[in-house]
Homo-oligomer: A and B are copies of this chain.
Amino acid sequence: MDTEPAVDKMKNSFSRKDEIFKQATMLFKKRGYTATSVRDLAQESGIEAPSIYSHFKSKEDILQQICFGMAKAFMTGLSKAEKKKSPDDKLKAAIKAHIKVVTGNSDASAVMWNEWKNLTEPYFDDFKTMILDYETRFRKIIKKGIKAGIFKRNNPAMATKLLLSSLNGLAFWYDPGKHQAKDLNSTITNIFFKGIVKRKN
Chain A interface residues toward B at CB < 8 A: 30-35, 88, 114, 117-118, 142, 145, 149-152, 154-155, 158-159, 161-162, 164-166, 168-170, 172-173, 179, 183-184, 187-188, 190-199
Contacts and interface: CB of A to CB of B under 8 A. Distances in A.
B191 A162 contact: yes
A183 B155 contact: yes
Contacts of A32: 32-34, 117-118
A21 B130 CA distance: 33
Given A166-B166, A169-B169, A191-B192, A197 B150 contact: yes
A71 B11 CA distance: 49
Choose among A33, A145, A197 the residue with the greatest number of B CB atoms under 10 Å from its CB: A197
Contacts of A145: 196
Given A155-B187, A165-B169, A166-B162, A150 B198 contact: yes
Contacts of A195: 191-195
A134 to B, nearest CB: 14
Contacts of A168: 165, 169
Contacts of A34: 32, 34-35
A144 to B, nearest CB: 13
Contacts of A172: 165
A191 B195 CA distance: 6
A103 to B, nearest CB: 13
A155 to B, nearest CB: 6
B192 A154 contact: no
A174 to B, nearest CB: 9
A147 to B, nearest CB: 12
21 contacts: A32-B32, A32-B117, A34-B34, A114-B114, A142-B196, A145-B196, A151-B196, A154-B190, A155-B187, A158-B179, A158-B183, A161-B173, A162-B187, A162-B188, A165-B165, A165-B169, A166-B169, A168-B169, A169-B169, A193-B195, A194-B194
